[in-house]
Chain A
Amino acid sequence: MPAIVVEGLQRAFGEVFAVQGIDIAVDEGEIYGFLGPNGAGKTTTVRMLTTLLLPTGGSASVAGHDVVAEARQVRSSIGVALQEAALDPLMTGRELIRLQATLQGLPPAAGRQRADALLERVDLSDAADRRVGTYSGGMQRRLDLAAALVHSPRVLFLDEPTTGLDPVSRKTIWEEVRELNDEGTTVFLTTQYLEEADQLADNVGIIDSGRIVAEGTPEQLKGEIGNPHVELLVGEGSVTAAEEACRALGKLLPPKDGKRVLLEVEHGAADIPRVVRALDEAGIGVESLELVRPTLDDVFVAKTGYHLEEEESEGEGEATEEPATA
């Protein structure tokens, strides 16, 4: 039975559609990566699936329950760790997990036991009686994750669980997510990080401007893109001249920045000598040349026409992805 079924789901804020009729199916025990830039509709979708926001169209069910008609049952079946870990800085870690246990209806003794076990699991036992405000970003995310697990949910929603974390903390969260999934928990994970989706997800949905533009396993999606590309860092001569020299050898892709040329080539490594010769004949110096196999970023570019990484840096500092007119 699918753990999450979404059909034609919509959410409008006034006249602005944040989510425009999306369809998603997530199987039990799967990790679903929901990938997209800021403002694409990821958080709005998660808020609808976790019953925090009413849809304005379409339908969705989670763990076999309709998110509108059976919201209470949905809330019993899910764990939620939202963007910007919603933690009270004045509470201690232990107080927070115990409160969460009470909210989920665990009897006091069981709640205390579960809190201790979860704090141990996320390696926060030593910090359990410190106020959350003194925790690092990684510790706060681990605590948030532990709180979401207090009632052993069937489906776990993680909204950008590693945004803003250092690489070590990010890897710790990934390991925990993998472990949870191995234990049978279905995970719906939103992320702006291509690597995160690639590393963790069984299936990936790419959302852009409220629409799903691609869906499949990371390998399927990359396979759809097909050919690898050559990435050239131009040393002497202009990027435009380099693009002109390479134009006949493959398909030029949208540039990442002003210094690189991206050329999709049909035969992979076998095409490199031809590229080098063409650049040499045009008198263009190259600082580096690399053959890059298709990545989710390439899938993203192919489906949306721009790079997710660029969007990330442009979108940094945005507090919310809800439209301003909401």
Chain B
Amino acid sequence: MTSLATSARVVRALGARSIRQTFRRPQLISPIIVFPTLLLAIQTGGAGAGIELPGFPPVQSFLQFMLAGSMMQSMMLAGNSGGIAFAVDIEMGFTDRLFAAPIPRFAIVLGRLAGTAALGLFASLWFFAIGLIFGAHIEGGVPGALLAMALVTTSAMGVGGIGAAIALRTGSASVVQGLFPLVLVVLFLSSAFFPQALMIEPAKTIAEYNPLSFIVEGVREPIIAGIDATQTLEAVAAIAGLLVFSIVLSARALRHRLRVG
């Protein structure tokens, strides 16, 4: 077996463990599924008439508009939960078991990111299911849904990398957990829950440049209108930037962790 194949098996095994860990620990799965689902229900129920506002993009329903935002929220909290779980591993010494194994050490980070990506995929499936059950149309059809799922999955990996980097750097679950409000700030200062056109300054300008807005729009477009090449490319570019940033950050944090032992 080649070294690459062995590393791939390690990443898969660690990813599977990371998913099991999330589903077996309610405090990890709850922010990923329960919280965004409740918020979706509250917002859809309470602000559904918002789609009548001038400047609101043409949508079939508020639920249809909100699906992308809920997926983004779930994906970002999956990244945060992944970081918390990684920090718990460091705190209880489980990462020592991994660092003492004859594997490339970055495979340990990649395993965690693979698990977070899988949770992102699960979250997108969950919200598509909710959308379809409650009557939302997916205008881009199956290809549109697949595109949206791919974008959510890869962006989960990017956000997970930032969580992993902070976990490696600090080794403290409470520090990573403390980022939860920041996740919400980034989310609300994007077009995840409200169209940019209807925002007021300075939120509007911040949302315009917030990379998350590009990803949200890339995910939303196949749901509310159909696949759009420009929106898709902008989302892919934002995700690529996020991935590069988070991988560099986590690689540096890993080096720091190995140096301090």
Contacts and interface: CB of A to CB of B under 8 A. Distances in A.
A binds B: yes
Interface of A: 47, 50-54, 72-73, 75-76, 78, 80, 82, 84, 86-88, 90-91, 95, 98-100, 102-105, 107-108, 131, 147, 326
Contact of A53 (B92, B101, B261): B261
A90 B21 contact: yes
Interface in B78-109: 89, 92-94, 96-103
Given A54-B259, A100-B97, A102-B13, A88 B89 contact: yes
Given A47-B261, A86-B92, A90-B25, A105 B102 contact: yes
B89 A103 contact: no
Interface in B217-250: none
A105 B1 contact: yes
A86 B94 contact: yes
Given A91-B20, A102-B10, 16 more contacts: A47-B261, A76-B102, A78-B100, A80-B96, A80-B97, A80-B100, A90-B20, A91-B17, A91-B21, A102-B9, A103-B98, A103-B102, A103-B103, A105-B6, A131-B24, A326-B260
Contacts of B100: 50-52, 75, 78, 80, 82
Interface residues of B, number: 27
A86 B13 contact: no
Contact of B261 (A52, A72, A100): A52
Contact of B101 (A47, A82, A98, A104): A104
A174 B9 CA distance: 34
A152 to B, nearest CB: 14
Interface string B98-132: 11111100000000000000000000000000000
B186 to A, nearest CB: 29
Contacts of B261: 47, 52-54
Contact of B93 (A53, A78, A86): A86
Contact of B102 (A54, A91, A104, A326): A104
A91 B19 CA distance: 11
Contacts of A107: 1
A87 B258 CA distance: 20
